[in-house]
Each structure stands twice: as C-alpha cells, then as structure tokens.
Amino acid sequence: MRKHISEGKLLADQVEADLLAIYALSAAIRDDRAHEGCNPPPRLDAEQQDAIHHAICRLSHFGLRALHDLLNELEVPA
C-alpha cells in the first residue's frame, strides 16, 4: 500500500535538500581555499569556483521559493 505524501512534506524535503547542497558546496569552496599558498595548491580554478558560487545562488533562490510555498501550505502568518 502506497502512502500519500503531502505537499508540505515534499516542500520541506526540498528545502532540506537545498540547504544541504548549499552547505556542501560552500564547504568545498572553503576547504579548497584552505590550500591557498600550500603544497598541494587548491584544486578548483576560478571558473570552477564561479560555477559553485552560481550553483549556490540558484539553490538559494529555489530554496527560498520552496520555503515560501511551504509556509503558505502550513498557513503560517507573515
């Protein structure tokens, strides 16, 4: 028997996934920058760092929209 997953649960899962992805991407940049001036040097070049920053911005945008939808679904007053 399949259980029905509520819209709120799906939105909450999406917000959590977005936040975890933002954290992981941020940690990758932070950890890579810790190698500046060291041997071995950082592995990410400027283009790769820019791509990660862009992904963080996009995930933040979609995560904020999902959070807004979740709050509306739960009827949380503004």
HEC per residue, the chain = CCCCCCHHHHHHHHHHHHHHHHHHHHHHHHHHHCCCCCCCCCCCCHHHHHHHHHHHHHHHHHHHHHHHHHHHHCCCCC
pLDDT of residue 55: 96
pLDDT band at 8 (very low <50, low <70, confident <90, very high): confident
pLDDT of residue 14: 92
Given a contact cutoff of 8 angstroms between Cβ atoms, the answer to whether 50 and 29 are in contact is no
pTM value is 0.79
Residue 2 has pLDDT above 60, yes or no: no
CA distance readout (Å), 6 to 12, 41, 62, 64:
10, 47, 19, 19
For the stretch 23-38, pLDDT in tens is 999 999 999 999 888 9
Amino acid at 28: A
